[in-house]
Structures are given as C-alpha cells and as structure tokens.
Structure 1
Amino acid sequence: MAYERGQYRLLALDLDGTLLNESSEISDTNAEWVKHAVDAGVTVCVSTGRGFNSALPIAEKLGLESPMITVNGGEIWTKPHSLHRRTLLDSSKVMKLHALAEQYPDVWYWGYTTVDIYNKERWVGDTIASDWLKFGYYTEDVQSLGEILKEIQTWDGLELTNSSPFNIEINPTGVSKATALMEVCRMLGYEMSEVVAVGDSLNDIAAIRAVGLGVAMGNAQDEVKLAANVVTGSNQEHGVAQVIQNYVLRK
C-alpha cells in the first residue's frame, strides 16, 4: 500500500526512550513506518543528545541521508558526515563542571568533545585543549543531583536539560533541539509549523513546544507530556510508528 505525506514535511525523532526500546533497539514496526514516511517524501531527522558517533549507526540502519541533530543541538549535520554547524561549550566551564562532579564520589559524569567522549573512568588531563560540546551528570541519588543542579543554575552561559530523571545535561546557552530544528528548517526551506517533534525528556521540551505538532512518548516525563500537543504510545509500544500512522501519513 502506498502512503502519502500529510501536512507535515519533517519528522524529528529523539532516540533513547523514543525511537529506541528499552534494549536500545529499533523495533521492526518502528523501522517499517519510518521507511514508509521516507518513501512518502517526509524528511526524517534524528534529534538526540547522543554524540554523532553513537547516533550514526541508528541513522544508517534506517537508511537516512537527511539532516541530523546531535548533542542536543550542539552539532547540526546536513546529512551524515557532513557538518553544518557546531557550537562549543567553553572549556573553562567544563573544568568547573568537572571539579563540581569530583565533589560527589558517587556521581557519574561524562563530557563530549568533537572527537571523543570522556567520563569518570576515563578523563583527560588537559581539558582546556579540547573542543567540548556537552557535559553531563548521572546519579539516582536525587538529593545529590538536586544539589548539583541548584549550584549550576547560578552559573552563566549554560543550557540545562536532562535525558532521564536521573541526569543533567549541559550545553551552551541557546543550544537546544528547538534552535537546531529552526536551522534545519531554514536549510531545507520548511516552516516550523510543518515539523513533528517526538521525545520523552526535558531536552525535547523546547522542540516539542516550537513545532507544528509536539508529541510526548507514553513513557515521557510528566513535564514533557504537559508541553506536548499529543501523547503517543511508549517506546515499548512502537510509539513512533503510531505517530507516523496517526499524524504524518495518509493512505
């Protein structure tokens, strides 16, 4: 059966907790419906907090040659391997964020540079020399996470979100999936009203609010559901496929 594109021209998909199930896999159902969307002329854009290297295999598995948004908008790609724009996180701020992390022995932390990802078990000596994109903290100790958040909220120049209730993600001010999608639309000649954005975490909220149709996953954080126009099934229920069937394509 052939499907036609409806009113939306671009589908922006978060990966973890959205397109991917709890085993970090794309279900056959989701893959099938993403292909239907692409075949119908919809631009499918990966929009993730992941770095390029860990987002790329997913885009390749889906056969996508379309724009990609990685590290929450810190990088915008015209297509895989073709970098359009990169926004760096000041390395002196990364050193401060790292020093704060070290005060909490049980907190996991990581940082993306333009070439690699570093974490608590593997940190680089000379952080000043690296081009940083994003920093993050993870702990299920809600009190420690709250203390860290309260501290860094007083610092300038940082965009704070999360990709799970137990982490904090830090980008430079103004960097978000929403601003990245605006740039992708400018590149392609689309309007933001022609975009569907799907996600489950705080790093998806700005995009969900900014587009024509903002969709929260059934497993999304409550704040994300409140920001969305509609709520779809969970990432275990092929929620992305449901979005494509219900809102993006028509027979």
Structure 2
Amino acid sequence: MSQYALLELDMDGTLLDDEQRVSDENKRAIEEAMRAGVTVILSTGRGFVNAVPYAEELGLTGPMVTVNGGEVWKNPNELHLRHLLERSKVQQMYEVSQKYDTWFWAYSIQGIYNKEKWTAVIEKEDWLKFGYYNEDDEVRGKIMDELHQIGGLELTNSSPYNIEINPLGIHKATGVQSVCELLGLSMDQVVSIGDSLNDLAVIQQSGLGAAMGNAQDAVKEAADVVVATNNEHGVAELIYKYML
C-alpha cells in the first residue's frame, strides 16, 4: 500500500486533455487508485457547477475544492466552507477591467459573469473569484500593479495569460488542508498535481507534488516530479509510478 492516502487533481491542463475530456487511461488509473483505498478529489479554479459533472463521470462522491479554494465541499451535495471576496474590492477590480478594456470573468454564488455577460449588481451578490485574461504582457503587468495597490488579494493564474483573484490567503492548498482535516489526514499523505500558478502552493505543501509536462516553468521547478502532458495521460503516469 502506498504511503499516500489522497490524490488531489487539478482539472484544466492536468486531468483534462485539450478537448476537455478525461482520457480512458486516466479513468482506469483513477479507478485503480480508488480500489487501492486512495481518496481522489478534484481541486480546480472552476466553479462547482462546471466541475461536478466530471466528479460524477469519475464516480467521485467525496470532497471537492472549487474556485481555487474559495469553496470546499464535503461531498457534491454538502458545502463545508466558503470564502468570499469583499464587494468593495470586486467593484475596484471591475473598474480596472473597464480601464484597460480587458476580458474578465467573475464567479458569485448567484451566477457566473464575464465581459460579454455582465448583468451583476455587485453590492447584492456574494463573490467567490474574479479573473482577467489578456495576452498583452504589458497590459497584464499594469493590471497586476493595480491589484497590488488594491491589496488583500490572492493572485494566481490558470494560464500564462490570465490572472485569478481570491481573498488573500485562500488557495488550493488551504482547500486541501481543509479536506485533510475532514478526513483525518496530514498534507504529508497528499499527492498533488497541476500545471499553473494556482497549483503552486498545494504542490509545495503536499507530500508529493507533481507538475505536468505542459506546466508553467515555475510549477515544474517547485514540483518533486514532472510527468507527461495532459494529452499524454500524465495523471495515469503519476498514479502508476508513485501511488500503486
């Protein structure tokens, strides 16, 4: 039996291939890990609604971490923890999006919004995450400077061209720590895998942290091991090499 009891899976760029599918190879490996007694959880920047269909596809009925740790679920039907952004900060972040005419999106408990679909009344909703997408490095750098001035924000990304924002101190590692507390485990018993900066903290704090072959360089440098890409079933490689 492996020394590891929990496998934390990022979704986009990790578990999912570029067509947003879970490969048969990854499915088989996950099934074998669960049969061996490993708890498998999804830990994603996505909101619950966009993550839970994959949990159902894989037969995962236990905890889940969504919106980069903004929510921790005991199971797909029961919320355990939720961390909200201050509405005043969301207003400021919205104003930054208008200043730089950049694409943005935001998750609230009430809905998912973006630049093309912005019907939100900021002061009436409960905000989980805000994000920007811009391929211009200079503009993205200016947005980062504005966010640092706002302060009290956790800044990561899920691609080299975006910025994802949660309340300060809230990230996937805090979410997985909460899951460990629920299950009576320690972070030493966790294997984590991902590809982007929103995976960095949990990879650093897990017993074994893995980076995908397609991961950003900073993630590869921080990881204990690097496996194949998301299109080459890197999750399956991790499970067979290090967990079974």
Short-chain TM bin: over 0.9
Partners of 2:110 and 2:226 in 1: how far apart? Answer: 36
Partner of 1:178: 173
Match of 2:35 among 32, 39, 42: 39
Partner of 1:115: 110
Amino acid of the structure 2 residue aligned with 1:39: R
Partners of 2:111 and 2:231 in 1: how far apart? Answer: 30
Shift of 1:14: 0.1
Partners of 1:98 and 1:184 in 2: how far apart? Answer: 32
Amino acid of the structure 2 residue aligned with 1:117: I
Equivalent positions of 1:38-77 (< 5 A) are: 38-77=34-73
Partners of 1:81 and 1:108 in 2: how far apart? Answer: 32
TM-score, normalisation: structure 1: 0.96
Equivalent positions of 1:78-117 (< 5 A) are: 78-105=74-101, 107-117=102-112
Partner of 1:218: 213
Partner of 2:20: 24
Percent identity of paired positions between Structure 1 and Structure 2? 55
Deviations 1:189-231 (A, max 9, x none): 0011000000000000000000100000000000000110000
Matched, 1:129 2:101: no
Aligned length: 244
Match of 1:203 among 198, 206, 215: 198
Partners of 2:110 and 2:67 in 1: how far apart? Answer: 12
Partners of 1:24 and 1:126 in 2: how far apart? Answer: 31
Q: C-alpha root-mean-square deviation of aligned residues, in Å?
A: 0.8
Q: Indicate conservation of the 8 Å contact 2:6/2:191, yes or no.
A: yes
Amino acid of the structure 2 residue aligned with 1:161: T
Shift of 1:174: 1.1
Q: Indicate conservation of the 8 Å contact 2:188/2:206, yes or no.
A: yes
Shift of 1:155: 2.2
Secondary structure (helix, strand or coil) at the match of 2:33 reads helix
Partners of 1:41 and 1:214 in 2: how far apart? Answer: 19
Deviations 1:169-204 (A, max 9, x none): 000011010111111101100011000000000000
CA gap of 1:151–1:65, structure 2 versus 1, over 3 A, is same
Secondary structure (helix, strand or coil) at the match of 2:185 reads coil
Partners of 1:94 and 1:100 in 2: how far apart? Answer: 10
Partners of 1:79 and 1:25 in 2: how far apart? Answer: 22
Partners of 2:215 and 2:145 in 1: how far apart? Answer: 23
CA gap of 1:167–1:51, structure 2 versus 1, over 3 A, is same
Q: Indicate conservation of the 8 Å contact 2:92/2:150, yes or no.
A: no
Unpaired runs of 5+ residues, structure 1, are none
Shift of 1:125: 4.4
Unpaired runs of 5+ residues, structure 2, are none
Q: Indicate conservation of the 8 Å contact 2:8/2:41, yes or no.
A: yes
